[in-house]
Each structure stands twice: as C-alpha cells, then as structure tokens.
A and B are shown apart, each in its own frame.
Chain A
Amino acid sequence: MVMRLNLSRRIFIKLAGGLALASLGLGALGYSLGWFSPWEQAVFEKESRNTLRADGERSLVSFVRGRDAREMVRAAVEIIGGIEGVVKPGSRVLIKPNVGFNRVEAVTSPEILGAVIELVKEADPADIIVAESAVRGYDTSSNFDRVGVREVARELGVRLIDLDKEDRAVKTKIRGRVLQEVSVFKQALDADVIISVPKLKRHSQAVVTISLKNMMGIMPDDQKGMFHVLGLDQCIADLNTAFKPDLAIVDAIEVMTVSGPGMGKMVPGNAVLASRDPVALDLVAAEYLFKLEGHADPLRAAMNVPHIRLAAELGVGTNDISRIELIRREPG
C-alpha cells in the first residue's frame, strides 16, 4: 500500500524551509558544543594522567644519602618499587635531564644521569632516548658537550637528542586552567615513559626548579616564552597535567641554593630522591633545599612554592604530607 501525500506547493516549500532551518540550528548547536572542530585534525589529544592512587594509599618518596651516585640512584628507585614498576619491557623511554645551561654546577650531574640510564636499560625497554631543549639562549648540543652528557650517552650507547634541532613540535590539547593547548616536541608525545632527572636548584621565578619545572624542556623556545607571558606557575602545573614524569629522580648531590637557576651558592647535599609522584617529590626536595639554606620553617616554605601547590590542586600529585610516605636511607 502506497501512501500518497497530497502536498500543495506552499506546504512543500514551508516544510523544506523548516527542515533547512532545523539542520542549520542543529549544526550551530553541534559546533558550539564542540562536536566537530575544524582544527581537530592538526591537534593531538593528550589525556590528563592522574596517577594518584585511591584514597588511603600514599605516595612513596625515597631519600637516600651517600657518596656513590650509582648506589644512591639504585637504592632510591628500589625503595619506591623498582624500575620494573615503571618501565615495561618493550616500551619507549624518554629520559629528560636538566641540561639547560653549560656550566657543570647548573645541570644534572653526568654520573647520576649515567646511573639512571644503566638502571633503565636493565628493564629491557625497546628504546631509550635522552632528550633536552635547553634554556633559551643556550645551545643544547654545545651544553651536552661542555657538561659531559654527550660522553655519558656515547659510553652507554643511548641516543642523545638536541630537541632544538629536531623541529618536530606538535600542538597538543591539554586541560589546564590557563593552557588549553601546548606545543611540545613529538618525542615527548611518542614516549611511553617519561623519566625526569632534574637537579635540585633555586629558581629566580619559580622559587625552585625540580621535576615539575624540568618538564619545560620538552617544549620549543617560543612556547617556553609564552609561559612567562601567561603566568609561569600556573603554566608549569597545566603542562604537568598531561606531560608529567612517570618517574622522577632528583640529583641533590650538589644543591644550588639562595639564587638560581644559572648561578647560585653551591652546597653539598649528598642525596638522591626518587618518586613516581612528582608533586610529593618536589615538595620533599624543596623542603630539603630550604633546610640547606637554613630556613626557619623549610616545610612551610616548600608548601608555599606556587607551582607545586597549583600542580597538587590539579591532581598531578599530592602535597598533603599525611599522604606522603617518606622513606629515608642514610649510610651507616
């Protein structure tokens, strides 16, 4: 049975017009809700990685004092569950040291970096790269040469990448308070595991520079500059919602106190700290730095570091000391 609709011309035109208007409205609604965006294709999506464990569990931070860099790194990582808990066999690992400057005292010591590389190798990853984009105005490759990082990488047979020469920055969507999009080098996006190996230093603008601030070295120079324009502390926290290190190992053998990050008063710290929670780690490390400076209340000073507090608010990690389990190991 065929139903015949008897439509007059006028009714037909009205119906067609209504349909067109309705689809236009639906399209506009969809566009405003972000169902289809013309930029979607060019932009990579990066999920926020909130690895904070369920309530009740605590973030482990290890604090190991000693003399031998290799032993200290090994012990520090052992305490927080071993390298196997972070690096799965066959994964691609990016190790991000702090080689922002070309003076030995201002960068991650090659001994610590070498010890970390050796440790990661034991977990049998598919690929290890050591990558850095130095502070603007410093030539990353020449920094590698001058502070001895290139030598370590060559000895251990890992690829050392001067990101500034790579020119493969990609725009990535993130869910920060200030930043909705951040430009990072492709290597950081491709890596399965990011290991941040910062040096414990004072910083003229971010108060301290440890594992959260160290992640700025996966971005090209113009993006780093934007951070200062938009507000450095919030931007560091925002960046770490998507690109936080899966494991961070802090070189606190020689600590730069009072001023930094380029030049400061060097104080022997003789310690290595490690954690899978960068916020908890930075809090503990910052407390140690302020203690070395002779601060009256080092913990309070560390709690007041803006980017650590903001990162905690965004759920990158915890700065609640009741939820941080600090395990110390001192020699003898």
Chain B
Amino acid sequence: MISRRSLLRAMLGALLVPLAGVSIAALPSRRVVRPPGAIEEERFLEICVRCGACIEACFRDGRGTLEPCGLPDGPPLIGTPKVNPLRAPCEALYGKCENKLPCIRSCPTGALKWVEPDEIKLGSVKWSPRLCIAFLGGTCLVCAEVCPVPGAITPEGRIPIFHLDRCVGCGRCVYACPADPKALVLVPDGEVRYRWRRGSSR
C-alpha cells in the first residue's frame, strides 16, 4: 500500500524532472561558432551527445581549434563543441583538413553532417576599428595577409575592408591579429549586421 506521503513525492517528482530538463534548455545561452557541418542549432542541441569525438579528432594531427562549451556559454550548451580561433584556425577550408574533415567523420550521431567545401560557413569575423592597429595608424594588414579566401579581406590603402559575404569564418585573421586585445572576433553567422562599404564612415 502506498502511503500518502510517497504518492505525493512521486507526483511531485514526475512533475519536476521533466520540468528541470525543459528549464535547463530554456536557460539563457550564447550563440557559439559550431564546427563545419553542424546542423541547425536547435536540432544540434537535441542530437549532440557531448561525446567529444570531434574535439579529439580536431587535435589528432597537431593543433586544433575545437573545444567544449563551458558554463559561460550557457548551461544548455555545456560539453558541445565550439570553434575557438584563439587556439588555432579551422583548417577545413584551404588547410590541412580540406576534403578530410575529421570532425565530421568522427561524429557518431549526425549532429555534424558532411558538407561540400563550398557550403562551409562557420561564421564571420567582427572587426573593432578602435582596437585595430592599422585603423589607429600603425603598419598592419596581417588579417588581409593571412586570409585564404580571395576577396574576403581587401586592403583599402592601409586599412582592411571585410567582405562578410565572402568570409567563411575560418578564424585565421582572428588567430593572427597582433592587437591586444584582438581587434577581430569570430561570431556565428548573421550576428554582424554592419557592412563596411567603400567610402562609408560607419
């Protein structure tokens, strides 16, 4: 015979456990830059089992760029992979992982799905002119120098111009930026809304 107390506990539990699951997913989280081939974010969070296989694969051949999300990224994201260009740029395009994509190949669940090279876009770069050595009058165009995508960063005189429609978000420019703090950050696609145009002051 179930006592009244245990029945109440069970009812409460049955109510609370799914609620906890739902509430963690509802906690605020940042948008992070996902590895190449990541499916749409909402689905990604459901399917990714946080096994870390892609991160391991990323580091198999020297330096890697992937790392697990931590608490600052938001509780629902903990353990999922993100691209950190401060560790190393992503080599999926114009690099050692070209046409190999070990991160995607290692994914056991399909949260990362095979993509053709011309469909890879991890994110785009966000420029802060007030931290930029070139913008402040120094001799620097390192970002334009290291950018492997034709026409994504073009020098206009001494200042780099970013063409976000071309940018694939490999993070080479972010890694190489010599300013401290860096004048460039890699952000998820669609997060930069400004477009630097010829002759515009904004």
Contact = CB atoms under 8 A, between A and B. Distances in A.
Interface string A216-250: 00000000111111011100000000000000000
A136 B179 contact: no
A110 interface: no
B148 A205 contact: no
Q: Which 8 A-B pairs have the closest CB atoms?
A: A225-B178, A142-B96, A137-B172, A136-B176, A137-B146, A137-B176, A228-B178, A204-B141
Contacts of A136: 142, 146, 175-176
Nearest to A227: B178
Interface of A: 102, 135-139, 141-142, 145-146, 165, 203-205, 224-229, 231-233, 259, 261-263
Nearest to B179: A229
B94 interface: yes
Contacts of B89: 137
Interface stretch (B23-31, B107-115, B132-140, B193-201): B132-140
B129 interface: no
Nearest to A226: B178
B32 interface: no
Contact of B146 (A135, A142, A145, A146): A135
A102 B96 CA distance: 9
Interface in B27-66: 62-63
Interface of B: 62-63, 88-89, 91, 94-96, 133, 138-142, 144-148, 150, 155, 171-173, 175-180
Contacts of A137: 89, 146, 171-173, 175-176
A290 to B, nearest CB: 19
B133 A228 contact: yes
A131 B82 CA distance: 33
Contact of A205 (B88, B96, B140, B177): B140
Contact of A142 (B91, B171, B180): B91
Given A165-B62, A204-B155, A262-B148, A135 B141 contact: no
6 contacts: A136-B142, A136-B175, A137-B175, A204-B144, A228-B142, A262-B145
Nearest to B147: A262
B144 A139 contact: no
Contact of A228 (B94, B140, B144, B172): B140
Nearest to B173: A137
B177 to A, nearest CB: 8
Contacts of A139: 62-63, 88, 91, 95-96
Contacts of A226: 178
Given A135-B176, A204-B144, 16 more contacts: A102-B94, A102-B95, A135-B145, A139-B62, A141-B62, A141-B96, A142-B96, A204-B141, A205-B139, A205-B142, A228-B133, A229-B133, A229-B140, A231-B139, A259-B155, A262-B145
B133, B140, B173, B175: most-surrounded residue (chain A CB, <10 A): B140
Contacts of A228: 133, 138-140, 142, 178
Nearest to B85: A137
Contacts of B139: 205, 228, 231-233
Contact of B95 (A142, A165, A225, A229): A142
